[in-house]
Amino acid sequence: MRNAKLFAGTSHLTLAERVAAHLGAELAPLSLRRYTNRETTADLGCSVREKDVYILQSGSMTTNDHLMEALIMVSAARLASARKITVVMPYFPYSKQSKKKKRRGAISGKLVASMLTVAGADHVITMDLHASQMAGFFTIPVDNLLSEPTIARWLADNVLRSGDGSGTPGAEGVVVVAKNAGGAKRVTALADRLGTSFALIHTDNAPSTRPFSRTPSTVALHTLPPTLRGPGMFADAVSGIPIASPRAQSPLCEPPSRGSQTDMDLQTIVDTPAARASAHGRARAKSKSDRKGKTPADALPPAQRAAFYMSPVMPAEEHPPEPEALDIDNVPTPPAAAAEISEMLNRSDDDDDDDDIDDSRLMEMVNTPVNEKAVNGAPTSYAAAAAASTATHNSGALVRAIASIQEQRALAVPVSRRSTFTSGMQRITSGTHLQSDPPLQPPVAVTSWRKKRNARITLIGDVRGKLVLLLDDMIDHPSSFLTAAEHLMVHCGARAVYIVASHGLFSGSSMGEIEICPYVHRVIVTNSFPIPDELTSASSKLVQIDISPVLAEAIRRNHNGESISYLFDRNPY
């Protein structure tokens, strides 16, 4: 390309090199360094005066560093009299924070957009924005490329392909499924393109979001003896026993039952048909959970119980847990336990309704010291290993974790219960408000437990005997995918489940969880987001589709002043 310079940030060099190769260009020389205080500095190694500058930088696991790096590169190019600066961000960082989540949320996506503009970018090229409305956050032109044509073609060539007697399912044997209502549109688009049918999974988790569940919680707190507000209490609430069965003896169990007491009080206050209906629904769920009886963990003291639920490798129902089966040595004392728990729970995502996704990431930052300790302590349990890798993205630890999981696979459980428990607990920790907003603490745990007990997963549509493509725009913590996959395979008779996503983030132990989940057969993502080599080679299920041709073609067309829209429904090659 004449009069153009292509610079690559450090987030995703492999992709940048591929893009450069497609363009027949070389990456321009650039020196990115860090001062000792970790400030980034960029030094463009060639003249960019009156040149078109393209800066490639994807979001990554060290988002803030790489974002800063991109901004500094843009600024450097601007000061060096570049004619036009285009930022190419295949995965746009902070794109999940594109709206105010109900109350007092920040729209950080807009902030990033403003920062890029202020730094001096003239144009942005990105791909599969979480919400296409984000293009409106900018005052400069944005090209939101689509990976869908590329993914669709790959699926058509490698999954659907039929009529050649190879046993491939063809369009009739495939169904595209959304794991939540928010993804319905994306799913129908791909289904229409592939000529397949589609379905939708709906998880009814209303009780905890109902307005009146909050008020009694606060009431309950003020009636708590102060000693019950500590981490021990928290750990106990995690296991949710008090709600599941009223037979609990420990004084620790009292507050949650008070919680239900106030719930009853409330029913009389809010005596609308709806309140009655929901009370009825809760009672139903409660009696159901009572029938289910004790979980094996009930027999354990609180701290161990917490560890029990943390561990994804749960003993099967027929074998009551031997204390030896748990890694008791690694079970921390109660105060540490609280920290560790919140860490662990981050593994699950709960973005069913987009509302609480980012809390988990926040928790990771808060808890970093704990994890470093775990790394140094050569973790032997999956829990510790996963905790370590969650925060530090230490793929070595993860590989070890996967190995240890595979060893213990004999013990591995019907994931059903595991996933229910982990997701049940997620809500509890998703809360920075847990820490910043103590009044809600124990009761929140209570509601969330009930919530997941009460949660109904419903499949709308038919997947029987079909290969399911479970589609979303990105996959990070996979628990909602895994829960959905399990439901599809176990209850709905799906033949196989492939997870399909544009951006594969796979933070922490995500890849390990997918690897051991028997209900997921493949994970298909693009290479828009950097995934460490250790992870890709450790996973037998991961397929990465190369989207560098789309990016390269978009850059080329941009540079030559040609239309980009061609790329929206066709492949560049």
Partner 1 sequence: MSSNSIRILAGNSHPALSKLIAKRLGTELANVTVTKYSNQETAVTIGESVRDEDVYVIQSGCGEINDHLMEMLIMISACKTASARRITAVLPCFPYARQDRKDKSRAPISAKLVANMLSVAGADHVITMDLHASQIQGFFDCPVDNLYGEPSVLRYIRENVPDWRNAIIVSPDAGGAKRATSIADHLDLDFALIHKERKKANEVSRMVLVGDVKDKVAILVDDMADTCGTLGLAAKTLMDNGASSVYAIVIHGVLSGKALEVINNSVLTRVVVTNTIPHAEKKKQCPKLDTIDVSAVLAEAIRRTHNGESVSYLFGHAAI
Binding residues for partner 1, per CB under 8 A? Answer: 98-100, 102-104, 107, 109-110, 113, 131-137, 142, 144, 178, 180-182, 184-185, 187-188, 192, 198-200, 202, 204-206, 209-211, 272-274, 277-278, 281, 353, 458, 460-461, 563-565, 568
Task: Name which of 418 and 466 has its Cβ closer to partner 1.
Answer: 466
User: What is the C-alpha to C-alpha distance for residues 338 and 307, in angstroms, rounded to an integer?
Assistant: 10
User: What is the C-alpha to C-alpha distance for residues 32 and 170, in angstroms, rounded to an integer?
Assistant: 49
Burial class (CB in 10 A: 0-12, 13-18, 19+), 470: buried
Kindly state the smallest distance separating residue 492's Cβ from partner 1, in Å. Answer: 14
How far apart, in Å, are the Cα atoms of 118 and each of 82, 177, 212, 363?
Answer: 15, 40, 44, 30
Task: Name which of 566 and 573 has its Cβ closer to partner 1.
Answer: 566
How far apart, in Å, are the Cα atoms of 238 and each of 207, 280, 303, 408, 432?
Answer: 17, 24, 10, 25, 16
User: What is the C-alpha to C-alpha distance for residues 41 and 72, in angstroms, rounded to an integer?
Assistant: 7
User: What is the C-alpha to C-alpha distance for residues 6 and 554, in angstroms, rounded to an integer?
Assistant: 13
Task: Name which of 48 and 178 has its Cβ closer to partner 1.
Answer: 178
User: What is the C-alpha to C-alpha distance for residues 552 and 395, in angstroms, rounded to an integer?
Assistant: 30
User: What is the C-alpha to C-alpha distance for residues 46 and 68, in angstroms, rounded to an integer?
Assistant: 21
What value does the CA radius of gyration of the chain take, rounded to a whole number of Å?
25
User: What is the C-alpha to C-alpha distance for residues 127 and 545, in angstroms, rounded to an integer?
Assistant: 14
How far apart, in Å, are the Cα atoms of 106 and each of 98, 100, 101, 128?
Answer: 8, 6, 8, 21
Task: Name which of 136 and 518 has its Cβ closer to partner 1.
Answer: 136
How far apart, in Å, are the Cα atoms of 191 and each of 186, 488, 510, 521?
Answer: 9, 18, 27, 20
Task: Name which of 180 and 330 has its Cβ closer to partner 1.
Answer: 180
Within 8 A by CB and 6+ apart from 572, the residues are: 549, 550, 552, 553
45: helix, coil or strand?
coil
Kindly state the smallest distance separating residue 136's Cβ from partner 1, in Å. Answer: 4
Task: Name which of 125 and 531 has its Cβ closer to partner 1.
Answer: 125
State the distance between the two ends of the chain, measured CA to CA, in whole angstroms.
19
Kindly state the smallest distance separating residue 133's Cβ from partner 1, in Å. Answer: 4
Kindly state the smallest distance separating residue 199's Cβ from partner 1, in Å. Answer: 7
Kindly state the smallest distance separating residue 561's Cβ from partner 1, in Å. Answer: 14
Kindly state the smallest distance separating residue 191's Cβ from partner 1, in Å. Answer: 8
How far apart, in Å, are the Cα atoms of 332 and each of 215, 303, 337, 366, 383?
Answer: 33, 8, 5, 18, 12
Kindly state the smallest distance separating residue 466's Cβ from partner 1, in Å. Answer: 14
Contact 115, 132 (CB under 8 A): no
Task: Name which of 127 and 233 has its Cβ closer to partner 1.
Answer: 127
Q: Which residue bears the tokens 């591929």? A: 18
What's 411's DSSP letter? G
Q: What share of the chain is helix, strand, coil (3-state, %, to 5)?
A: 55, 15, 30
Strand order of the sheet with strand 123-127?
4-8, 52-56, 84-89, 123-127, 142-145
User: What is the C-alpha to C-alpha distance for residues 277 and 141, in angstroms, rounded to an integer?
Assistant: 50
Residue 136 CA, chain-centre distance (Å), reads 25
